[in-house]
Structures are given as structure tokens and as C-alpha cells.
Structure 1
Amino acid sequence: MSFGTRSRAVLACAGILGLTLAAAVSPAIAAARTPTVPHDLFNGRQSCSTDADRPTHLWAGTGLDVEGIPGTTDATDNSLVTAEYRVWPVVDPSSITTIRRNAIPGIEALATLPAAALTDGQTYAWQAQTVADGTASDWSATCYVTIDNTRPATTPTISSANYQQDVSNPGGAPAEFTLSANGDDDVSGFEYAWQQPLPIAGIANIGDHGIPRFVDPYSNPTYFMRADSPGGSATLSLVPPNGSGPKTLWVRSLDRAFNASEITSYMFFVGPTAPSVTPAVSSPEFGEPTEFTLRPAPGLQSTNPVVSYTVQTIGGQTYGESVEVTAEADGTAEVQLTLDGIYGEALQVTSRSANGWVSDAGRWSSTYDTTPTVVSDAYPENGSGGGVGVPGSFTFTPKVKDVVSYTYSVNGDPEATVTAGDDHSASIDWTPASDGFHDLQVYATTSAGTQLAPYDYYFTVN
């Protein structure tokens, strides 16, 4: 487990701290600076507690990080000073452990109290002072820490009032969960997510002068919630991930030091909530504006009214683009789309309810044949005819509207384009230079510049 993670960037100054200064401080300067009491005291990246009745609870399995900002009365002098820390058990003030480290005035001086000097479950007091040129400042205020290296012994239990475990439940509403510590008063809160691994609790960002900025995990209700009392419970209202099918909520308990219990889970099933997608005509034509009606899944509107839809097109000229459509009071909506996928097009539609629920996707699709029709009397398709030097005429006609030209190539030769006539068809004359198998590939282009699907016309020259 990793708790109280500290940005490694702030430790870059550690190498500086171990260096011997090349320039010695003159006696006049040394005499002018007086060490000051360290301030901005932190332990485990959290602000120190000066209340003996409310110590900070911290994991210290590899030692306890303590820090403060040492300084002197000379704000312009950056000569190294010594940050000195002493710690003792509250029950035995005479048993003092002292550690020292070189430090830059005005910068947090982090030191680690050895794990061997700290007993799990024991409360300790610690102080800091600055030592400069053989003179020590007063000791700082006393900070109080309780060492907690033991994770909660019990896993939480999970129940839901509206999504029963291991069965299919109607979708559309946030899942209401109750997490319980079952009376384990070591538990102060819970962590949860729809996927693993769960986030790390109790991280800290580092600000100016190396000052930690502790991030209280319970400030993020997406993943964390305090128990209503030690060993108590918490209630959650969570929208499951999109779509129907199985969903799993992963949960673990946290103590005051953010030690985590074993992870437990709650699996349930969400029934289908996909909207229906119905075109105004049974077989929409390529390139023609078509109106679609969107309707909520049966039963969804009466319990969790739909307020909007997201419509995504797949296979058209604007592949993957989506539009938002506002629903009427009855949950339905109308949207007009021009289908221009040269092989076909599909719509993927999700509904959103007023409570934030996003349904699984409803789908509609259609296929189109936008290839041109090719006809030749001299050289029939998939047959043989003509001969070397015998000219043949090939006529192209469209299967869709608004075709303005045809582009063709024989046997992979450079492409050529012929303009369509008023009836949107075109003809070419071609004379073979060799016998045998030939391939004429041709595609049409619309007035909008859309290149339609190509067609391969195979024939044999006698």
C-alpha cells in the first residue's frame, strides 16, 4: 500500500543539502543571523495536530516523515542550517529520539523518524528547531501523531434498495447503496469505484517552498465517503456505467490513517434501456433527408423521464459525428438526417434521463448499392465477345440520384472521367489491344463531390 505519496520533484534539493558550501560565511554574517523556530509543520504530508486529544493518525511502516521550514533572521542568507527533530512517546516523555539534517532556510526540511522507534498504536509527540552557527532556536509547537500500521480487520458489507444483487433490475435510476463497517470502530470511511484498481487515498501535492498540499480523499465523493460515525455506514447514490448487463461496485473500508481493508464487491444486472429508432419511410434512399423518430425504452419515461438523445452516425461521410436532440415532454424526439454512406449507414442512439442516467445504445442500420450499372453489347459481363481491335461501347447508369460523372479504369490503367448526361448516364467506347480476361472498374460521383462505391465489370475478349 502506498499512502501520503509525495512528488519526487521536491526531493531534487536533497542532493544540494548534502553538499559542502564552497564559500564560508564570514563571522560578521554568521553573527548577524539568528535561527528562528521552524514553521509550516507537517507529518505524513498532513498538517501537524497540536491538540493532544486529537492526534493525526498515520501509517508509518517505513518510518514517519516529519518536516518544517527552518530559517534565520537574515532572509538574504542561504547558508545551510540544521533542522533538528525530536520525538517521544506521550506515555514516556523521557524516551526521546532525535534526528538532524542539513537544510536550506525557507524550504521544507523533510526527515524520516525511523520505523524502529515507532510502535503501532502508540501516540507520539514531536517538535522541531533550527540550529545555525552553533545556536539553536526555541522548539516549535508540539505535534501529536498516533501510529496506525494496521488495516481494518473486516471488509464492509454492501446492500442496495433498488438494485438487487445477482438479478436483473429495471434500469433508469441511480443505484442506492448502503455501505456498512458492521461496528468496526477502526473504520472511518469507504472507498468505492466501478472498476479496479481503486485510487490511492491520502496523496499530497507539493506547493511553493516544498509545502505539502494534502488532498482530503473525502472531498471527492466520486470515490470516497465518510462513515456517519466510527464503525458506522454511508449511503451512496451512483449512476452505473452506461449500458445494460452486469455491473460491479468495488468497495473497501478506510481507517483514519487511510489503511484499507480487503476489497469486496457487489454485482447486479441492469435491464435494457435502449431507445427505439424508427425512420419515416421503411427504406430511406441514399442522399435523401430522412426523418427519424426516437422513443424511450418501454417503462423508462414513467419512472425516469428522458430529456435528450445523442445520435451518432456510423458509415457516412461524417463518420462518428454526433448530434444532441432535445426530447419532447413525452420523451420522444424527431431528427432529420441525410444518409450518405456509400455502402450503407447506421445510427447509434442513447437517451439521457433528467437524473443523469444514460441508456445503452439503440441502433438502426441500412445498406445501399451505390455502384453504377454497366452494360455492353459487344463485351457482356462475365462472358466473352468481340476481339482484339474490335471496339465496344459501355454504358453507365446510376442506382442513386444526382450523379454527374463516372470515373473508370481498365485493367488498372490510369483513370479517366466522363460527364453524365441529362439522364445521369454516360457511355464510353473502348477497343481492346489484347485478348483474354479484362476488368473495367468504374465509380460515379455526385454533384456534392461524393465518390460512390466502385463496381468491377469482368469480361473476356475473344
Structure 2
Amino acid sequence: MSLGARPRAVLASLGTLGLALAAAASPASAAGGTPTTPTQLFNGYEHCSTDADRPSYRWAGDGLVVEGIPGITDTTGNSLVGVRYQAWPVTDPTRITTVTRDRVTPGVEAPATLPASALADGQTYAWQAQTVVGDAVSDWSAPCYVTADNTRPANAPTITSPNYPPDVWNEGGVPVEFTLSAGGVDDVEGFEFSWQSDLPVIGTSIGDHGVPQPVDPYSDTRYFKRADALGGSATLSLVPPTGSGPMRLWVRSLDRAYNGSAITSYTFRVNSAAPTVTPAVPQPEFGEPTEFTLRPDPGLQAKSPVESYSVRTVGGQDDRTFEVTAGPDGTATVTLALDGIYGENLQVTSSSANGWVSDKAWWGISYDTTPTVASDTYPENGSGGDVGVPGTFTFTPKVKDVVSYTYTFNNGDPEVTVPADAGHSASIDWTPAAEGWYDLTVHATTRSGIRLAPYVYSFTVD
């Protein structure tokens, strides 16, 4: 569990019961003014609790960071002060452990670490802080109460679902209801869950003046749920991240110190319920606007009306993802001009009113947008002509609206562009300067500027 990155405090442990600050560590020569009681008290980067009946719970296996902001009445210059922290078990106030942080800036958090050797697992402690300026000290702060909890929940939670049993294929369309139970561990406060095996890290960011900014993890309902009672259970209503196939939810229990149990998981299966995608014509022409009808899976529509579709185009000149609103019957239409020079496909998911997102429907088409190249003198994949013998090459389109052709011989020569005639074809005359094998590479360009797929026409000059 990460608690945020910050430098370790340099501290001097002064032992137990009434030990005073060492004179060598005194900041007396570095500060003037009257010390004031520290504020902004935190333990383990969480707010301190001043309620003895409701201590905070923190992991203290490597010690416990305590901190507060020291104060001084004279804040001019570069005054430095010290902070003294004292802690004791609430069951034995005579066993005092004292740690200090010396030569710190007033107005900035001054962390120090209570040693792990002074903090027994399961024991509740009180601690307080005071500002030190030479021989002058502030009043002690009100005590904070914290329980050292170094033991994670012994058992993983149990997971059940009343509407998506684990051993059969389930019909989707409604959120999955889960019940998470503590597995017999009486100090479980809540649960952490995710559709990914790597569960989120619980952390605390550090704000201005070094002040921790703790956030209740249970406020993030995407990943956390508090139990209905300590050691109790929690219910979840979740929409899976994908619409079909095997699904797995990962869960662990958290105690009051956010110690996590072993992770367990619940696996179930969901049948496909993708929408259907139907073009107005069976084979839409390249670049021609075509209407597509999107229809919901009947089972999904019956459970919760489909409200919209997410449509993604793949393979076109300007791939994009966009939303289409469905009508009352769950259907929708969208007009698209498919312009992928090798083909294009659509990926469509439906979204229901209850939040369910279906799996993807795929619809695709292939296009041959290469030009046709022909020559009587120099036939394709054959031999003909001779050095110095001119030949005519004719280019004709396979798609509409071609305005020009660009060609090169043997790929090393500069490209040449020629306009198409009224029938969208073009012819060139070419005379070889040497015998051998030649590759003529040609592509067409449309009126809208689309450079179509190239065609390689190979031949041999005798």
C-alpha cells in the first residue's frame, strides 16, 4: 500500500518516559519568538483522531510517521524550530516514547517516526506534539489516538452472485449482482474490487506545506465498497467491461488500516448479444454514401431499451468513433461513405438504459482500388517490344471519380502524374532505352484527393 512519496524524516529517538531533548539538538540559536502548539496533525498520512473511543488504525510495521506543523509568534527572518512528539499506550500512560524533529521551518509539516519497537500490534496509543524554541516550549496538542494494526485479514473474502452463476453461460443485459462477505474475519471494514487482477493502490498525495491530503478510498465507488458492518458484507451491482465471454471480478478485504487480504476472484460467462449492422445495399460502392441500419439484440432490448450505439470506422481515410442515438424501438440509422483503399470495417456496440454495453458487432467490406493497366506491345508478365520500340500503356479505374494517375518505372524513376480523360482513363507512351525486366507502378487519385492503392505491372523488354 503506497502512502505517497516524501523524504524520510531525520529524527532523534530520545527513548522512553520523560527523556528531554538533547542540548546539542536544540534550535535555540536559530529562532526567536514564542512557540505555538503544532497544528495539522497526521499519523501515517491520515488525519489524527482526537476521540479516544474512535482511534484511527494504521499499519506500523516499520514504525509510524507522526507529524504536525510547528508555529512561532515571530515569523520574520529564517527562524527554525523543533518539534517534540510523545506517545504512550492508552493502557499505560507511564510508558512514554519521545521522538523529535529539529531545525524545521515553522508553517511546514515536520514528520518524525515512532519506532516499530515501541508499537505493539493491536495496541492503541495516544500521542501529542509541542513546538520547541530553545528552552521554551508550546502547550501540548490535544492527544491523537491510533491503533497499530500490522495484521492483514487472515481469510480472503467470499463472492457470490444470484443472477450470474459461475458454471454456466448466462444471458447478459442486466448488471451483475455480487455479494462480498468477510470470510469470517471480524475486523474487515470493506472491500476493494476490479475487473483487472491488479487492484488500485491506496495512496495519499501531499499538498502545500507538506500537508497530507487523505481521501476516503470508499468514496471511489468504482473500486471500493464499505461493508454494512465491521466484519460484515457488501453488495455490488456492476456492468462488466465487455459484453460477452468469460468475465472475472477480483476482490480483497480491507481492514481499518487498509491492510489487504489475499485476493480472490469470481469467474462467470456471458453469451454474445451484439447488435446487427445492415447496409442498404449488399455491397456498398467505394466512396458512395450508404445508409446502415443498426438493430439491437432482442434479448437486450427486452431487458432494458437500447438508447445509443457507438460506431467505430477502421481502415478508412479518417477513422473515427462516434455515437448514434437509437429510436424508441432501439434501432438507428447512419449514413457513411466508406473510403478505405483496401477495404473498411465497422465496429458497433449498443448501450442500454441500465448501463449495459454489448459486445462488438463487426461488419466489413474489401475494395480493389488499383487501376487496370494494359499494353499490347509490352504484355503483363510477358515479353515484347524491343529497345527503342515505343509502347502504349492504358490505365482504367475500378472505382468512380478518378481524375488522375501517377506512375513510375522501376520505382527509381521520378513519379509522373497524368490527368484522366472524360471516361476517367488515361494512356501514356513509353520507349525503353535498355532490355530487361521492368516494373510499372501506377496509382489513381480521386477528385477528393484520395490516393488509391497502387498496382505493379511487370514485363520484359526483349
Is the 2:178–2:236 Cα contact (8 Å) retained in structure 1?
yes
1:439 is aligned to 439
1:122 is aligned to 123
**Aligned equivalents of 1:424 and 1:107: distance in 2?**
77
Is the 2:371–2:442 Cα contact (8 Å) retained in structure 1?
yes
TM-score, scaled to structure 2: 0.92
**Aligned equivalents of 1:124 and 1:12: distance in 2?**
21
Secondary structure of the structure 2 residue equivalent to 1:191? strand
The Cα offsets for residues 72-130 of structure 1, whole Å up to 9 and x where unpaired, read as: 22232542222111111111111111112213222221111111011111111112112
1:386 is aligned to 385
AA matched with 2:328: A
2:138 is aligned to 137
Secondary structure of the structure 2 residue equivalent to 1:246? strand
2:301 is aligned to 301
1:338 is aligned to 337
Q: Which runs of 5+ in 2 are unaligned?
A: 12-23
Pick closer, same or farther for the CA change 1:411–1:183 going to 2, 3 Å: closer
The Cα offsets for residues 162-202 of structure 1, whole Å up to 9 and x where unpaired, read as: 2111322112222111101144221111111111221223x
Secondary structure of the structure 1 residue equivalent to 2:188? coil
Pick closer, same or farther for the CA change 1:144–1:24 going to 2, 3 Å: closer
Secondary structure of the structure 1 residue equivalent to 2:178? strand
Within a 5 Å distance, the mapping from 1:2-401 to structure 2 comes to 2=1, 5-8=3-6, 24=29, 30=32, 33-76=33-76, 78-102=78-102, 103-201=104-202, 203-318=203-318, 320-401=319-400
AA matched with 1:379: Y
Secondary structure of the structure 1 residue equivalent to 2:399? coil
Is the 1:78–1:105 Cα contact (8 Å) retained in structure 2?
no
Secondary structure of the structure 2 residue equivalent to 1:299? helix
**Aligned equivalents of 1:24 and 1:186: distance in 2?**
49
Say what the alpha-carbon RMSD is for the aligned residues. Answer: 2.2
The Cα offsets for residues 32-51 of structure 1, whole Å up to 9 and x where unpaired, read as: x2222222221112222121
Secondary structure of the structure 1 residue equivalent to 2:51? coil
AA matched with 2:363: W
Is the 1:292–1:335 Cα contact (8 Å) retained in structure 2?
yes
2:19 is aligned to none
Pick closer, same or farther for the CA change 1:82–1:336 going to 2, 3 Å: same
Deviation, structure 1 residue 209 = 2.3
2:18 is aligned to none
Is the 2:179–2:234 Cα contact (8 Å) retained in structure 1?
yes
Pick closer, same or farther for the CA change 1:21–1:405 going to 2, 3 Å: farther
Is the 2:27–2:80 Cα contact (8 Å) retained in structure 1?
no
Is the 2:26–2:82 Cα contact (8 Å) retained in structure 1?
no
Pick closer, same or farther for the CA change 1:76–1:394 going to 2, 3 Å: same
Is the 1:313–1:348 Cα contact (8 Å) retained in structure 2?
yes
Q: Which runs of 5+ in 1 are unaligned?
A: none
**Aligned equivalents of 1:375 and 1:6: distance in 2?**
70
Pick closer, same or farther for the CA change 1:347–1:398 going to 2, 3 Å: same
AA matched with 1:456: V
AA matched with 2:168: V
**Aligned equivalents of 2:85 and 2:415: distance in 1?**
83
Overall identity of the aligned pairs, in % = 66
